[in-house]
Amino acid sequence: MKSIRLLILFLFFLPLPLQAGMDLLSATVSIEGDSPEARRAAMAEALRQVLVKASGQRLAGRGEQLQSILQRAEEQAQEFRYRSGEGVEGESAGKRLWVRFDRRSVEKDLRQLGLILWEHGRPELVPWLAVERKGRRRLADPERDDALFRALESAADRRGLVLVIPLMDLEDRNALKPADLWMLDLQTIRAATTRYGNALPLVVRISGGKGRWKAKWSLLFPDGERNFDSRAKSLQKLMTDGVNQAADLLVQRYLPSPAKAQQDQVRVRFLGVQDISDYARLMKLLRSLDVVTGFSLARADGDRLEFRVEALGGREALVNQLSLIPELVPVVDIPEEEGTGSGLETLSYALR
């Protein structure tokens, strides 16, 4: 045990790679013509999309400051290439420009806008879609309803949201019926979603058509749900409006603004840390959380480790992001040992 503790102290100071995430630094946009002016305009639009995707937030109310940043888009481009092909509904076909921007420049731009790079801690979403046409309701299928799912995925990509598209095979259809979604049977929906890991269910009930679409949305958090509506003349706009509302709720819950959220120290206890590989895995998990600005090992006792964690947004923000990690199971009612009290909030998790 002593040798393990010494290795822990040694490894604690070694940098560990962050978890791989989605590509937040690139965007593909339409481009009109081959002139330098057309390329500058397309790159500015690509940078605007990247800033939205990288922060997970809308950029409303940042007019002059944002325009100043977008004027430097070409300087921040790391690489670009031309593509051709069709976009989803509502996007023009023809020549398109793919651009990847420099990470440090994007982070600097976001800081100027009062935002941060939301690189980790984004919950995955499982979209359960149901469609009502002429009084008949059915579950949407990724193959049969390709245009609908492409519109949903396009809208999610613009906000940097990760979707886990359900297979809609026999197992899914046995687990869920159209009525379960329309009546919002929370227990049944959550049970069906467990097949897809720790992702949050996003229920979408769509009706209408021919330029008069509407949808009822429900985003199911571990401790409750949030409901909202969208209406539009096209599926793309319908999906974009709903996804934007869902993304706003996720940002509000999982990513406190650095300008508004205070930074607090929270004591966190982890159980089941058996060896160095477990410890390295735990370090990787902690360093993947955007709300964690720093942490230090306070105590090691057997398979229990206690850390003092600096968390942006404090205990609540840390709990929200830890809830997204399937390897950690909350543990309650662990008695405090004598001499360990520090007046800090204590959280306990078992590593599995």
Three-class SS of residue 189?
Answer: helix
Look up residue 139 and give its amino acid: L
Q: What does DSSP say about strands 26-30 and 94-101: parallel, antiparallel, or unpaired?
A: antiparallel
Report which of 148, 158, 340 is spatially closest to residue 234, judged by C-alpha positions. Answer: 148
Question: Domain coordinates of the chain in residue numbers?
Answer: 2-19+259-351, 26-112, 125-254
pLDDT in tens, 137-180: 999 999 999 999 999 999 999 999 999 999 999 999 999 999 99
Q: What does the H/E/C string look like for 101-165? A: ECHHHHHHHHHHCCCCCCCCCCCCEEEEEEEEECCEEEECCCCCCHHHHHHHHHHHHHCCCCECC
pLDDT in tens, 64-84: 999 999 999 999 999 999 987
CB 49 within 8 A of CB 79: no
CATH number of 125-254: 3.40.50
Model's pTM, two decimal places? Answer: 0.78
pLDDT in tens, 111-141: 999 888 888 778 999 999 999 998 899 999 9
pLDDT in tens, 219-262: 999 889 999 999 999 999 999 999 999 999 999 888 866 555 56
User: How high is the pLDDT of residue 53?
Assistant: 96
